[in-house]
Amino acid sequence: MAEYVFLQAANGLVTGLIFALAAAGLTIIFSVLKIVNFGHGVLYMMGGYAGYYAIHLLGVPPMAAVLAAMAATFLLGVLFERLMLTPLYTNKVDRKDEYAIIVTFGLFMLLENLGIVVFGPFNKRPPSFVEGGLHVGLLTITYDRLVAAAFAALLLAALALFMQRSSLGQALDAVSQSRDAAAIIGINPHRMYAIAFGLGSALAGGAGALIAPIFSLSPTMGDLPSVQAFVIVVLGGMGSVPGSIVGGILLGVVEGLGVGLYPDPNRALAYSNAFGALLLILTLLIRPTGLFGRPHLRME
Amino acid sequence: MVRGTLRAAGWAVVFLAALLAPKALNTYWLHVTAIAWYYALMAASWALLAGYAGQFSFAHMAFAAIGGYTSGLLAVDLHLPPVLGMLCGVLAAAIVGGVIGWLCLRLRGPYLSLFTLAFAQILQLILIAEYQFTRGSLGLSVPPLFHGDSDLPYYYAGFALLLFSLGIMQLVLRSRVGIFLRATREDEDAAEASGIDTSLYKIAVFTLTSAMAGLAGGFYGHFVGILTPNIVTIPEMGLVVAMAVVGGVESLPGAVVGAVFIWVLSEVLRDYGQMRFVILGLVIMLTQRFAQNGLVLLATRLIAKRLQPQRVEESGAPAA
Amino acid sequence: MKVMKRSEALVAGAGLLAGAALPSLPASAAEPILLGWVGPLSPPGGYAAGQEMKWAAQLATNEVNARGGVLGRQLQVFYEDTKGTPDQGTAAMERLATRHVSAVFGEFHSSVALAETKVAHKYGIPFLGTDVWADQITAQGLPEVFRVCPANSLIYTMVGNWAAAAGFKNVAIMQEATDYGVGAVQVLTGIFKKHGINANVVTVEMNQQDFTPEILRLMNQPQRPDIFMIIVAGNSLYDIVRQACNSNFAPTAQTAIYSGGGPALEKELWENDGKCAVDLIAEDVALPKTQWNAKAKAFVAAFEKQFKRPPTGTAMESYDCVGVLTAAIADAKSTNGKAIIAAMERLKYTGARGTYAFSSSHAPTWAYHQYMDAPIMLVQYSKENQTPDDAPILFPRKWATLKELYIKRPS
């Protein structure tokens, strides 16, 4: 029984790390631009397909394709920010929260349906990173999941370092704390917004490309992960990258255990996402700022 | 002054048009506009909750589902007449809405949105998983509100429910409650400091708007005839938000216009096959980008400009 | 103004007379016959299957029109996206009704079809269900409604009996919480009970991606199941198969794997699941290759050429729907709803999937207007990249290419 519980937890941990990557992107967008990005799921999806086509059309090897996908979604994110999000800070917009939600929701509708037209309705799947799996006693995990989790962990560590040590990372952090103060010390906040959205998109895209060999590619593949990302961001605390990492792992483990231990086995799997949602609700009731978050700052 | 009467006249025209429209519509468009009333009520009540009271809730569709499923299940399992069922649906939605409003008291901004989103997700999953009880994705067959094949009674019933609800909401807004809500939205701490029981009003507004969503859901169920958990999806909620904001989230009639506009547009775009929702998404993005305060306000401004160009010259300022 | 020369006037006059003498052209510039198609082309519906069905219908319509149409008139089909949502279905039907279509066909989701058939009945428009399996669709007894695909009861009685004959004693089932999934499993569990087979049913939701927790739980039961049946029609089928395989659950020596849904028949199965799909048992709503008539062969070739992928049985169903309606309209010599319905009731039409005839019996209730001879067979993939047409056939025994009832993996 203990082995079985460990199994569920291990499986959850691995997928949780990958979703944590997407969540980290969401949290950066939130902390710098102060908006909730409802298009995060489609950016994740675009990354998945970008990786697929990088492999099939450009012959890029699978691991490198993840980086190519991140570059592509970075550009997509910057483009979207420049075209649609500039009104947020040029003071033309009275109700910033709603504006951002509508505009990113529009992006979701546009790209998801365009994806069906352009990529076709049939599921695709890029080749595995590494074939086969690890079998230790009862524990079975595919190498794909392990590789993807390790890659995600590396990227998250790199991200955390970037945010804390590099000047660009610190500039982003400065803008997230106070736009005006950052402007005073010479940081161009508008440039930072574009970079933040691009970076957030790139992280989502990277997660999508990592997940692609594990779960199939489809234009709707981002729907559920975007809600997972919200849960993780709330759990870990909005604006905290380490929080996303811990939150992601926690969510994965809770969902895995929830399904494994839920008394009614017939329903357990159908409710797997409900465990995450419940976790979000409990976090908001007990500790709204999450594990590592700062109190919510409104856009100035 | 002139602006005011102009606006009133405008709405009177719109109201008359809505009243007489069925004469000019074929059965398909009659059906479509009757469904539009469902979305209009959802958008207007959401505009009250989010636009006026500042509670950016994503659980609105969940309350429609509660209203619809309560009424539907009572009709199917206990053979309750639809009107009674709808009342029960309204009550159920109101109660749950009050509870959610109470739970959300300390939450602000995106935290409130995500909390309500999570609640809606859980409700959707329950509806799907407990299919033996709710018939889940199989679809719950709900008995119709009216007998006969025509959609005409549904059109007028929906319109009447919408007007009735708008009336109640306008009364609330004109009363002290409305002032308190606005004060709470602008600066909650200041409102508290000046003695307003913000908690009470927040819960009250949640209860009221959830009751209306429940009413809309009940109407929808007994009209379309089949309920599925698909009414609670995130894209559906996003659509209602878009409708309210595109129309003008600080104007209840504006939200109605937004709802009808977007719903009718989504039907008109059927000719574009798979590009239908691509175009709709684009329209939503562009409308927000270039007419942020809603189309109704934009239209009012344009019309006002058209009708009063002399003013500028009279005042001596250079002609535009 | 220049006055006409006499010669010009003569030529003009001759021309006018000649024109008057010409026989009046046949009414092929006449109005086309209008048909409606309904089905999912965008989420949350099963848009992959919907797209395939639409393609097949387009192919069929073009062929009919190239041959001169029906009753001297061209066929025109309006394609409506119903998104797997009942209210979109009713709106689509209302729209088609205002366009005065003579008949409607299509649909992939049973719950949407149930809503659509109500509207069809309201207007008296014949409705031919293409790939909707819930018994209720024909069992509701509406005169307008016909169906070319099998009903859940038709297929799953057969599947249940096959499983019993193959010796399975302990079945794990993953069911999709839809009309298809729940209806199918109801029939299956009924048959299993009769044979004393133990069935463990798990419900899954359509948007999920990670089934591993549940698979692990099923594997670790005190008695390991000897077959894992996946009654899922959505694309998550690929994830379930791959995860079951990667967890060493099925297909293995101890546990066979079975899938009920369409995605198992598409070529994407191999891209998504690779060698995990070898030994997968799948349902195919088509005739075996050996039974293909000329129409089937021609259709398969034409579809592959135009859409660069082999058609599945679902595509064939859609293709035949156009054929059935065309034949009925030709026989009725009219586009009137009642006349078409009467023609459908006495129809005997040979399409790509056999000779269509619709039963008029109400016993069992779902037999009414059902194509009772709808072909259904069980195949099991024996090597990678195999098409369902080339895979060994397990059941029905009259078409079986394998001596055993299924290929069991050696321990």
pTM exceeding the 0.90 threshold for the entire prediction = no
Contacts of A123 in chain C (CB under 8 A): 48, 235, 238, 263, 268, 272
Smallest CA–CA distance from B243 into chain A, residue: A102
Q: Output the tens digit of pLDDT for each of chain A's 300 residues.
A: 677 777 778 888 888 899 999 999 999 998 898 888 989 999 999 999 999 999 999 999 999 999 999 999 999 999 999 999 988 877 667 677 778 888 898 999 999 999 999 998 888 999 999 988 888 877 788 899 999 999 999 999 999 899 889 989 989 888 888 878 888 888 888 899 999 999 999 999 999 999 999 998 999 999 889 889 999 998 998 878 888 889 999 998 888 888 878 888 778 888 888 998 999 999 999 888 888 876 554 433
Contacts of C178 in chain B (CB under 8 A): 136-138
Mean pLDDT of the C246-255 span: 90
Query: Angle at the Cα of C396 (from C395 to C401), degrees rounded to 5?
Result: 60
Minimal C-alpha gap between A121 and chain B (Å): 11
* Candidates B106, B110, B118; nearest CB to A280: B118
- Bridge partners (DSSP) listed for residue C202: C174
* pLDDT, tens only, C309-320: 989 889 999 999
Cβ pair B28:C206 closer than 8 A: no
* pLDDT, tens only, C113-149: 999 999 999 999 999 999 999 899 999 999 999 999 9
Q: Report if residue C400 sits inside a domain.
A: no
The rounded distance, in Å, linking the Cα atoms of B153 and B143 is 15
Share of chain B above pLDDT 70, in %: 95
Contact between A245 and A290 under an 8 Å Cβ cutoff? The reply is: no
The reply to whether C98 and C170 lie within a common domain is: no
Question: How many pairs of residues across A and C have Cβ atoms under 8 Å apart?
Answer: 104
Interface check for B56 against chain A (CB to CB < 8 A): the answer is: yes
- Testing the interface with C: which of A45, A269, A272, A273 to mutate, by most C Cβ within 10 A? A269
Minimal C-alpha gap between B9 and chain C (Å): 33
Contacts of C110 in chain B (CB under 8 A): 138
User: Chains that contact B by 3+ CB pairs under 8 Å?
Assistant: A, C
Cβ contacts of residue A300 below 8 Å, gap of 6+?
A178, A179, A180
User: In this structure, what DSSP letter does residue C290 have?
Assistant: G
Report the interhelical angle of B198-224 vs B27-46 (nearest 10°): 170
Q: What is the CATH number of the domain that holds C360?
A: 3.40.50.2300
Domain boundaries along the sequence of chain B? 2-305
Cβ pair B35:C87 closer than 8 A: yes
Q: Check residue C360 and give its pLDDT.
A: 93
The reply to whether C123 and C50 lie within a common domain is: yes
Contact between B86 and B72 under an 8 Å Cβ cutoff? The reply is: no
Interface check for C48 against chain A (CB to CB < 8 A): the answer is: yes
Cβ pair C272:A259 closer than 8 A: no
Smallest CA–CA distance from B268 into chain C, residue: C95
pLDDT band (50, 70, 90) for residue C216: confident
Interface check for C201 against chain A (CB to CB < 8 A): the answer is: yes
* Candidates A274, A288, A298; nearest CB to B111: A288
Interface check for A264 against chain B (CB to CB < 8 A): the answer is: no
Contacts of C91 in chain B (CB under 8 A): 28, 31-32, 35, 267
Cβ pair C204:A140 closer than 8 A: no
Say whether pLDDT at C13 is over 50.
no
* Candidates C41, C208, C246; nearest CB to A272: C208
Interface check for A261 against chain C (CB to CB < 8 A): the answer is: no
Domain boundaries along the sequence of chain A? 17-222
User: Chains that contact C by 3+ CB pairs under 8 Å?
Assistant: A, B
Minimal C-alpha gap between C391 and chain A (Å): 21
Burial pattern A125-159, b for ≥16 Cβ within 10 A else e, equals bbbbbeeebeeeeeebbbbbbebbbebbbebbeeb
Interface check for C209 against chain A (CB to CB < 8 A): the answer is: yes
The rounded distance, in Å, linking the Cα atoms of A70 and A53 is 13
Interface of A with B in 111-170 (CB under 8 A): 111-114, 116-117
Q: Where are the beta strands (DSSP E) in C308-386?
A: 349-351, 354-356, 377-380
Cβ pair A273:C205 closer than 8 A: yes
Question: How many pairs of residues across A and B have Cβ atoms under 8 Å apart?
Answer: 133
How is residue B257 written in tokens?
């216009």
Cis peptide before C44 (omega within 30 of 0): yes
The reply to whether C258 and C390 lie within a common domain is: yes
Minimal C-alpha gap between C32 and chain B (Å): 18
Q: Report if residue C216 sits inside a domain.
A: yes
The reply to whether C135 and C60 lie within a common domain is: yes
Closest CA to A267 of B126, C154, C392, C373: B126
The reply to whether C329 and C362 lie within a common domain is: yes
Choice among A103-112, A222-231, C20-29, C280-289 with the minimum mean pLDDT:
C20-29
Cβ pair A98:B249 closer than 8 A: yes
Cβ pair B285:A110 closer than 8 A: yes
Number of domains in chain C: 2
User: Chains that contact A by 3+ CB pairs under 8 Å?
Assistant: B, C
* Candidates A102, A112, A238; nearest CB to B241: A102
Q: Report if residue C23 sits inside a domain.
A: no
Minimal C-alpha gap between C367 and chain A (Å): 31
Q: Check residue B310 and give its pLDDT.
A: 55
Cβ pair B35:C91 closer than 8 A: yes
Smallest CA–CA distance from B224 into chain C, residue: C87
Contacts of C115 in chain B (CB under 8 A): 139, 224-226
Interface check for A267 against chain C (CB to CB < 8 A): the answer is: yes
Cβ pair C94:B224 closer than 8 A: no
Interface of A with B in 71-100 (CB under 8 A): 84, 87, 92-95, 97-99
Q: Check residue B1 and give its pLDDT.
A: 54
Domain with C207 in it: 153-284+381-395
Smallest CA–CA distance from C206 into chain A, residue: A270
Cβ pair C205:A113 closer than 8 A: no
Number of H helices, E strands in chain C: 13, 14
Q: What are phi and psi of A231, to 5 degrees?
A: -60, -45
Say whether pLDDT at C22 is over 50.
no
The rounded distance, in Å, linking the Cα atoms of A232 and B110 is 14
* Candidates C87, C95, C122; nearest CB to B28: C95
The rounded distance, in Å, linking the Cα atoms of C267 and C250 is 21
CATH class of B2-305: mainly alpha
The reply to whether C205 and C100 lie within a common domain is: no
User: In this structure, what DSSP letter does residue B48 have?
Assistant: I
Cβ pair A288:B121 closer than 8 A: no
- Testing the interface with A: which of C51, C171, C173, C210 to mutate, by most A Cβ within 10 A? C210
The reply to whether C105 and C142 lie within a common domain is: yes
Q: Check residue A179 and give its pLDDT.
A: 78
The rounded distance, in Å, linking the Cα atoms of B313 and B317 is 6
Q: Report if residue C406 sits inside a domain.
A: no
* Candidates B27, B137, B226; nearest CB to C94: B27
Choice among A32-41, B7-16, C93-102, C255-264 with the minimum mean pLDDT:
B7-16
Cβ pair A36:B130 closer than 8 A: no
Q: Where are the beta strands (DSSP E) in C58-197?
A: 75-81, 103-106, 127-129, 145-147, 170-176
Mean pLDDT, each 10-residue run in order, chain B (320 residues): 72 88 88 94 94 89 97 94 95 97 87 92 92 86 88 94 95 86 76 80 93 97 90 89 84 90 88 82 87 76 74 46
Cβ contacts of residue A126 below 8 Å, gap of 6+?
A51, A52, A55, A56, A62, A65, A212, A213, A217
Cβ pair B241:A98 closer than 8 A: yes
* Candidates B138, B220, B224; nearest CB to C178: B138
How is residue A67 written in tokens?
């980086």
How is residue A63 written in tokens?
């691991």
Contacts of B31 in chain C (CB under 8 A): 90-91, 94
Interface of A with B in 15-34 (CB under 8 A): 30
Interface check for B122 against chain A (CB to CB < 8 A): the answer is: yes
| Strands C256-259, C280-284: pairing kind | parallel
